[in-house]
Amino acid sequence: MKLVILLKRSLYRIVLPLALALAVVLSAAAQQDELQLTFSRDFGYASGTGDIQGMFSMKVSGPPDLVKVIFLIDGEPIGEDTEPPFRIQFNTDNYALGSHTLSAVGYTTDGKELRSREYQRNFVSAEESWKAGMRIVGPLMALVLGITVLSIVLPLLLGRGKSKTIPLGAPRNYGLAGGAICPRCHRPFAMNLLGINLLTGRLDRCPHCGKWSVVRRASPAELKTAELAELEMGAASAQVQGQTEEEKLRKALDESRFQDY
């Protein structure tokens, strides 16, 4: 029995101090987490790994009784705010290049002091941020340029010698991209998958007349109407081809009566 009592006393002596220490740590962490510090880029560069340059904002959120927040860089106050949203703006160019510690201290109505977590940010020069940005934007611009060139050159290469190969009014498959109606020759054609998308439509080349124009995807009903219009064009063309030279001349003279000189 005495051994059991001694063991319990020993456990109390070990566990109780540990529990008190853990409670203090948890209380300090909870107090620290009561003041949440966030960052936003207003104008400038942020690498996503801690490198920043330009105009940024620090913003703090906390308990309802928070009445004042002091913002710090490297432990030195750079300004304070006494009204929510608690926010301050700063420019990295006003500070030395290199690593800096950003934090905030808040005060409640009863005088309680709350501290945010400390964040490390590396202030870089405008030249370095521009070079870093170009390393990201450069490949994207090259990719867009390459796609643009392919969308123009490839249809030209694939379309060589293929103009007007589809008979007037012939049914056709418009493919995945759908069909459009040429604003020049008014004939329907299958849109190219590599056509350049613009705000008002897609820049594409008509395989019938060979002209480039901005077209939009036509509905099945519009395409069917255009195909029927092609049939009428074909019938009119066949009628003209079947006329003799005398009939063609007489028709031309009749039509000339309605022309203004």
Provide the β-strand partners of residue 50. Answer: none
Chosen domain end from 82, 106, 126:
126
Q: Tell me, yes or no, if the pTM score tops 0.85.
A: no
Distances (CA, A) of 183 to 189, 193, 203, 207, 211: 11, 19, 12, 13, 9
Whether residues 248 and 185 fall in one domain: yes
Note whether 70 and 77 are within 8 A (CB). yes
224 and 168 in a common domain: yes
Asked if the structure places residue 75 within a domain, the reply is yes
* Structure-token pair, residue 103: 């934090």
> What's residue 247's pLDDT?
60
Q: What is the mean pLDDT of residues 169-175?
A: 77
Q: How far apart are CA 213 and CA 226, in angstroms?
A: 17
Residue numbers of the domain that contains 236: 158-254
Largest CA distance in the chain: 136
Of the listed ranges 8-22, 38-52, 98-112, 228-242, the least confidently predicted one is 8-22
* Percent of the chain at pLDDT exceeding 70: 66
Q: Which of 133 and 10 is assigned the larger pLDDT?
A: 133
Domain membership flag for residue 170: yes
Q: Is residue 15 part of a domain?
A: no
pLDDT of amino acid 91: 96
Q: Are strands 66-73 and 76-81 parallel, antiparallel or unpaired?
A: antiparallel
Domain boundary among 126, 149, 180: 126
Residue 92 makes CB contacts below 8 A (sequence gap 6+) with: 44, 52, 53, 54, 56, 123, 124
Sign of the CA dihedral 13, 14, 15, 18?
positive
Which conformational region is residue 79 in: left (phi greater than 0), alpha (psi within -120 to 50 degrees), or beta? Answer: left
- 182 and 112, same domain (yes or no): no
In a domain, 249, yes or no: yes
Do 162 and 106 lie in a common domain?
no
Q: How confident is the model at residue 112 (pLDDT cuts 50, 70, 90)?
A: very high
Mean pLDDT of the region 221-242? 76
Q: What is the mean pLDDT of residues 204-216?
A: 88
